[in-house]
Amino acid sequence: MIGDGSSDTWEVFQFANADLVAPDEYDLSLRLRGQAGSDGVMPDVWPTGSLIVLLNGAPQQIDLASSLRGVAQNYRIGSAARSYDDPSYVHLVEAFSGIGLRPYSPCHLVASATDAGDVRVAWVRRTRVDGDSWDGLDVPLGESSEAHQVRVVADSAVVREVTVATPSWTYSAADRLGDGVAAPFRIEVAQISDRFGAGPYTGIDING
């Protein structure tokens, strides 16, 4: 896992080979990036100095009640063999939002124009729950109901935002005229969880 040290921005990635090329330096090959839905927040390239955590079973998740999500808590981090007030301990204040509940970003977002000048977008939802089976026709929803947030972004400003219950939406020519939107603009989609809110957005640029 690689991240910036915050409580939210981490990418989970896997690798098959780790070859020692210098003291404390490894070359990782046959990698899979953006696992467990972390592709929605990962950059194209992590900057030098990013933090690495090996998920080998040693790091344990903090037991956090749902009522404490988003609430700043005080943590002291150090050796379990020493007292919590030992000078070697590090004091941190962190608020955790429950990233494990965050919906995955949608995929395969496509757009098409109709003869009437409407723009229709469609996408495929993903799931964070039991999504690896190939047996069913679709992956489980993983939420109490299906909901997607769609927004139109023009000149870096959100000019329209709607919530839909199916993985498609049509931006009518009349709505576009009313919004004063001319190409190019962008349509972005995120899945909504009633426990977390909107997950990461996937977007597509509309140039015509």
Structure tokens at 168: 């498609």
Would you say 152 and 185 are in contact if contact means Cβ atoms under 8 Å apart?
yes
Side chain identity, residue 107: C
Closest among 98, 102, 103, 99 to 64, alpha carbons compared: 98
pTM of the shown model: 0.84
User: Using the 8-state DSSP alphabet, how is residue 173 labeled?
Assistant: H
In 10 A of CB 41, how many CB atoms? 18
Give me the residue spans of the domains in the chain.
2-100, 107-206
Exposure of 25 in the CB half-sphere (CA atoms within 13 A): 3
Per-residue pLDDT of the chain (208 residues; tens, 9 = 90+): 999 999 889 999 999 999 999 998 999 999 999 999 999 999 999 999 999 999 998 888 888 888 999 999 999 999 989 998 899 999 999 999 999 899 999 999 999 999 999 999 999 999 999 888 777 778 889 999 999 999 999 999 999 999 999 999 999 999 999 999 999 999 999 999 999 999 999 999 999 8
Would you say 165 and 145 are in contact if contact means Cβ atoms under 8 Å apart?
yes
- Domain 107-206, second-level architecture: Sandwich (2.60)
Would you say 75 and 95 are in contact if contact means Cβ atoms under 8 Å apart?
no
